Amino acid sequence: MIPLDDPLWSELRCHCITGREFADILEGCYAGKIPMLEELYEDLLECICGGDVYDSSFAAAPHLIRLSSGCSLPAAVTMLCVAARAIAETSREEGPALDPRLTTPLKAAACEGVTEAMKVLESSGLDTREREEMEIALLAFSGDFEGFWQSRNRIDEQLEAEFRERAREAAALPVSRPELTVVWDQELPSSQTSNGR
């Protein structure tokens, strides 16, 4: 695992912030300042741009896996899923280049990820979607990258179909508009009549 004060973080990049800023977010999490789930997700989205992986994601994955063991269940699911995505991205040629200094930490993190994902799966309180996400993350941690990407694509297609269905249902709802009241015989104030009404 790359220490958070390692100069390498300054060489890494994210979507909206620097690798150094990503390391600062992680340092805050280690200090017990793990944001509520929504803010945590937003912080991680700022780093990975809603699913895109950057080279800083490879450095962060081992830390996210380590941090997940001390989090609430929903936060642990979020951290493990982000870490799994980063690890799976190493199998894609079109992904960002993996700095050789991160290869060994990622392999060790994948082993730890299996353990942490199994703990989460054994706990009660997961909803169906979270359980499915953790099972997919487990594929990445165990090195089944083909299975990970197939499952991830299937889930993404389901989510897109659900979104389209909700949009279709919303479009079919009647639109309520406040009544418009027009007053015909009322004089406008002088400031409005000076424009040549």
Q: Let me know: does 86 contact 53? Beta carbons within 8 Å.
A: yes
Q: Hey, what's the torsion of the CAs at 8, 14, 17, 20, to 10 degrees?
A: -10
pTM of the entire predicted model: 0.75
pLDDT tens digits in sequence order for the chain, 197 residues long = 899 999 999 988 877 778 888 888 888 888 877 655 556 656 665 555 455 777 888 999 999 999 888 888 888 898 899 899 999 998 888 878 888 999 999 999 999 999 999 999 998 888 888 899 999 999 999 999 999 999 988 988 887 888 888 888 887 777 655 554 555 455 555 555 444 44
Q: How many residues does the chain have?
A: 197
**Of 123, 119, 124, 125, residue with least CA distance to 137:** 119
- Domain edges within the chain: 8-172
At residue 40, the pLDDT reads 61
Residue identified by tokens 């200090």 is 31
DSSP 95: S
